[in-house]
Chain A
């Protein structure tokens, strides 16, 4: 009937618009990738852990200024996702992982050129909403009854680190949720759903103002090391090596340090 039509066309219109938008972004993404093989200076494709988004975006800009004509295409995701993508044939030149495990996985598949270099470390911290409603002051406070704590699942690096800290401090947490990504933990704290969450120092710094950071000494028991390496299938290993030099060099140190990353 008549009434039904507008909805049908609205839904269709919406779907169409969405798919068109998807096509649009698809071609945009494809453009630099295809020019990578052709152009002389070309594009350097860097796959980096999600926690490196802010710092690597800044370093990529510096790199582009130092190498006029070169574009750095950045792909941020969970380290294990990126390692899987590269194993399945994604065209990456450089891989920066948030843990050594995923770099080892790539090395086992003979997809790492040379030796991975450790360039940063990260430790856990407690993030609470700005008003710290549960009055958290220590790691042991997280185990108090009535405190809603959110952590990462043990399967992902930040959850593995949380488990290490639990074991070392002898505190057993009863989390309300075990998220698959540290950003989801942070989200639950920022929205006020959780009284506290275990996140990386760099996440808490990045969300300054929206969360309060409660550092705890036991964090030193679980230090995550970030390695970087050129990908074995890369056609531009020289350019990749220069990018790695930038990250491991003084400029990289400065940017990473400002974001809260430690020295390896």
Chain B
């Protein structure tokens, strides 16, 4: 985020003061482990790119199965991002702007999918929305069948992506502070007016980057989808599942599709990286 858009609480000014105080500099030896750290992430990606069969790349990634999977991935990721925004924004507001007993526990639990193995998420969703799950019977009476449907994919993606939106948005909310909201309230604005006219415009950049991150996470979702939704071309077989299957018979296609996914993810992370993480970290540091 550029200092000019850092928000009204003088974060830019604070940062300038910090840099004016000057960093004492790093010891040289730290460069070696740092380089190894960068390599640990970059080397496998480079090794994969080196394996791409470039002469076949275009036909491989534009095969009907690949395009169907990519289209399904983009549609479901967009739908789950929308769900994350609609449900995650209120959740972040409640966590950042209120205090109630058990709040810390609730926050920790909501963020759990960040560290849970996705397959565990899949099993949890199965026992919730599955035919014999907690809500499954009720849903079946209503004529809604979630298992093996695109809805199941969206639910799985929402489950794993939601914490990304909540954590980054809560960071943004705390960074923004509630001064403007307090002023608006003293001027007689009702809570709903304050929310829609002051708070939401203020956190819009944070919301956007949180949404982009959620989209990226949803796009990469694999384990929960495999466990909960199944794998059928055009219905539940998203790009990661297609890669997993292609690997069995056509490793070249799997590598080519992996590269497409890496490229999409790289663009998404590049777009949102600075805004989101600086916001979240600032809040954590305070």
A-B pair count, CB < 8 Å, reads 89
Contacts A5-B284, A156-B248, A192-B132: A175 and B115 contacting too (C-beta < 8 A)?
no
- Which residues of chain B are near A27, meaning CB under 8 Å? none
Is the Cβ of A11 less than 8 Å from the Cβ of B148?
Answer: no
Which residue on A lies nearest to B116, using beta carbons? A14
B51 to chain A minimum Cβ distance, whole angstroms, is 11
Q: A80-B248, A155-B245, A180-B245 are in contact. Are A4 and B170 (CB under 8 A)?
A: yes
Give a binary string over A123-163; 1 marks a CB under 8 Å from any B CB, 0 the rest: 00000000000000000000000001010010110000000
Partner of A176, one of B114, B148, B170, B246: B148
How many angstroms from the CA of A1 to the CA of B237 in the assembled complex? Answer: 42
Indicate if B108 sits at the interface (CB-CB under 8 A): yes
Given A177-B232, A193-B131, decide whether A184 and B114 contact each other with a Cβ distance below 8 A: no
Contacts of A15 in B (CB 8 A): 115
Chain A 1-35 against B: per-residue CB contact (8 Å), 1 yes, 0 no?
A: 10111111011001100100000000000000000
Is B251 part of the contact surface with A, judged by Cβ < 8 Å? yes
Specify which chain B residues have a CB less than 8 angstroms from the CB of A156 in the assembled complex: 245, 248
A188 at the interface (CB under 8 A from B): yes
* Distance in angstroms between the alpha carbons of A184 and B233 in the assembled complex: 16
How many chain A residues touch the partner (CB < 8 A)? 32
Contacts of B193 in A (CB 8 A): none
Residues of B within 8 A of A155 (CB): 245-246, 248-249
Task: Confirm or deny: A171 has a beta carbon within 8 angstroms of a beta carbon on chain B.
Answer: no
Cβ of A66 under 8 Å from chain B: no
Q: Mark A171-201, 1 if CB is under 8 A from B, else 0.
A: 0000111111000100110011100000000
Q: Which chain A residues lie closer than 8 Å to B230 at the CB level?
A: 150, 176-179, 188, 193
Neighbour of A11 across the interface among B114, B237, B251, B286, CB < 8 A: B114
Known A-B contacts A7-B104, A193-B148; A177 and B111 likewise in contact (beta carbons under 8 Å)? no
Most chain A Cβ neighbours within 10 Å, of B131, B132, B229, B244: B131
Q: With a CB–CB cut-off of 8 A, which chain B residues contact A153? A: 231, 245, 248
Contact of B284 among A4, A184, A187, A191 (CB under 8 A): A4
Interface pairs (13), CB distance under 8 Å: A1-B283, A3-B103, A6-B104, A7-B167, A153-B231, A156-B248, A177-B231, A178-B230, A179-B226, A184-B231, A193-B130, A193-B131, A193-B147
Nearest 6 pairs between A and B by C-beta? A177-B230, A176-B148, A192-B132, A14-B115, A155-B249, A155-B248
A-binding residues in B (CB < 8 A): 103-104, 107-108, 111, 114-115, 126, 130-132, 147-148, 167, 170-171, 174, 226-227, 229-233, 236-237, 241, 244-249, 251, 283-284, 286
**8 additional A-B residue pairs with CB within 8 Å, beyond A150-B148, A177-B236, A192-B131:** A5-B284, A8-B284, A14-B115, A177-B148, A177-B229, A179-B230, A180-B231, A187-B227
